[in-house]
């Protein structure tokens, strides 16, 4: 069992994210030496380094662990860890916003939920998803919901972050269960059992679709 609430026992660990980002930065600078804002090189699917950036995170959201390409309708975006425009609106400020160190692979729900929340010290270190610090704050409960660890339950900023990203939502639980079941199916050799797992998977995916549809309706 993994201690990282973002991963099931079938997921590879998030590893050396900082180093991998630096390597990608070098690659981008070699190809385009004048790059100041790395966001512009990775933010959309059309951008040449979008996929490479996703792979640094094993294509999984840095905040909730949802996996790109394996969930019915979840789309992914590039999050500014310290929110965009937190720096002054100057060339230097915009450059600081778009530094690769400040960019994080995130699912739509986490990124949009987090949008206006400004993370300041000491929370920038405590909630850092790249070095895994965030896993000291949150955990997965027995029913697979993401929870705030006991030590931080009365911390109002942590609670605000948790709520803003919707980490308590049923969708985060369903995404995790889908991922877990997919991992199980890949390893299962018994055809009968595999079939049963597929049936369960389709029920979970149906639930997740319904959740997304209802949620999108509320958003309109």
Residues that bind Zn ion (CB under 5 A): 61, 63-64, 66, 107, 110
Q: Which is nearer to Zn ion, 24 or 71 (CB)?
A: 71
Q: Are 152 and 45 in contact (CB under 8 A)?
A: no
Pick the closer one to Zn ion by CB: 28 or 61: 61
**Residue 17 in tokens:** 């994210």
What is the nearest approach in angstroms of Zn ion to the Cβ of residue 107?
A: 3
CB of 75 to Zn ion, least distance (A): 11
- Closest approach of Cβ 177 to Zn ion, in Å? 15
| Residue whose CB is less far from Zn ion, 60 or 87 | 60
- The whole-angstrom separation of Cα 78 and Cα 34 is 21
In contact, 43 and 80? CB cutoff 8 Å: no
In the complex, minimum distance from the CB of residue 86 to Zn ion, in angstroms, rounded to a whole number: 21
CB of 71 to Zn ion, least distance (A): 10
In the complex with Zn ion, the residue whose CB is nearer, 29 or 82, is: 82
Considering beta carbons, is residue 96 or 158 the nearer one to Zn ion?
A: 158
């Amino acid at each position: 069992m993994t201690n990282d609430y973002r991963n099931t026992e079938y997921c590879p660990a998030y590893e050396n994210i900082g180093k991998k980002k630096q390597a990608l930065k070098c690659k981008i600078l070699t190809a385009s030496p004048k790059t100041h804002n790395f966001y512009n090189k990775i933010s959309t699917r059309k951008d040449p380094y979008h996929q490479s950036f996703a792979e640094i995170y094993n294509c999984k959201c840095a905040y909730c662990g949802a996996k790109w390409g394996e969930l019915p309708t979840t789309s992914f975006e590039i999050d500014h860890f310290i929110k965009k425009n937190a720096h002054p609106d100057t060339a230097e400020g915009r450059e600081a916003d778009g530094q690769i160190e400040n960019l994080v692979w995130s699912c739509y729900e986490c990124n949009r939920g987090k949008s206006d929340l400004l993370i300041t010290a000491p929370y920038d270190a405590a909630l850092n998803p790249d070095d895994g610090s965030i896993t000291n704050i949150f955990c997965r409960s027995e029913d697979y919901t993401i929870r705030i660890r006991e030590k931080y339950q009365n911390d109002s900023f942590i609670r605000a972050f948790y709520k803003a990203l919707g980490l308590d939502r049923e969708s985060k639980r369903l995404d995790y269960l889908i991922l877990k079941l997919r991992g199980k199916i890949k390893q299962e050799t018994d055809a009968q059992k595999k079939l049963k797992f597929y049936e369960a998977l389709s029920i979970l995916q149906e639930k997740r679709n319904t959740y997304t549809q209802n949620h999108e309706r509320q958003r309109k």
